[in-house]
Amino acid sequence: RLRHWRSEPLPAVDADGVAVRVVLHVVWRVTDTARAAHAVDDVPRHLGECAEAALARVVSRRPVDAFRPGVPTLRHTEAVAEELTGLVAGAAAVAGLEVFAVQPVRIEYAPEVAAAMGRRRLAALDALHRDTLLGEVVDAVEETVRRLTARGLVELDGYERKALVRDLTVAFCTGWTAGS
């Protein structure tokens, strides 16, 4: 018979040293009743301790949020669940238990750091938005100057080119920030 166990919020520390709380859901069953009865005093408690130990290991390897692209995080729940399931299944097998899935249900910052991390997350999103906007402006200015000179509409020396680039950059930035 399949059983389900849901944890209380478990404390852990991510790869960046940030305190988090994670709620886990474990799907399991007893496969060897004799081993389960003799190996541990309290099967659900043992399962919970296995899950908590696995959680500490997995969480310490990844940040909750990556403020730079290409970094695996705890928000990649499929990969985290797969790793947790493997660790918990290995530890619980000794007690005659079969673990089918260990899934993080909720991952949140600990209350003492939640507000600061929320601000950090917003600042990172703002910086990403600004970086994207600046890239679009530079591309638009470059394309505009290239097309103007290619069509022979303007002939620019170095000083005039810099002035046109500056003026177009200001105009495009003003237009894009007003529109967003």
SS3 70: coil
- pLDDT less than 70: residues of the chain: 176-180
How many domains does the chain fold into?
A: 2
One-letter amino acid at 57 equals R
C-alpha span between 110 and 89 (Å, rounded): 27
CATH code for the domain in which residue 83 is found: 3.30.479.30
Q: Within 13 Å and on the Cβ side, how many CA atoms surround 147? A: 6
Model pLDDT, residue 12: 95
Is 129 exposed, middle or buried (CB count within 10 Å of its CB: 0-12, 13-18, 19+)?
exposed
Question: Is residue 54 domain-shared with residue 85, that is, in the same domain?
Answer: yes
Q: Given 85, 109, 133, which residue is the final one in a domain?
A: 109
Nearest to 93 by CA among 48, 54, 49, 35: 35
Question: Is residue 172 domain-shared with residue 152, that is, in the same domain?
Answer: yes
Question: Is residue 91 domain-shared with residue 131, that is, in the same domain?
Answer: no
Instruction: Give the tens place of pLDDT for each residue, 70-84.
Output: 788 998 999 999 999
Domain span at residue 144 reads 116-179
Instruction: Give the tens place of pLDDT for each residue, 58-74.
Output: 999 999 988 777 788 99
Q: Which two tokens stand for residue 95?
A: 């007690």
Q: Are 88 and 26 spatial neighbours (Cβ–Cβ below 8 Å)?
A: yes
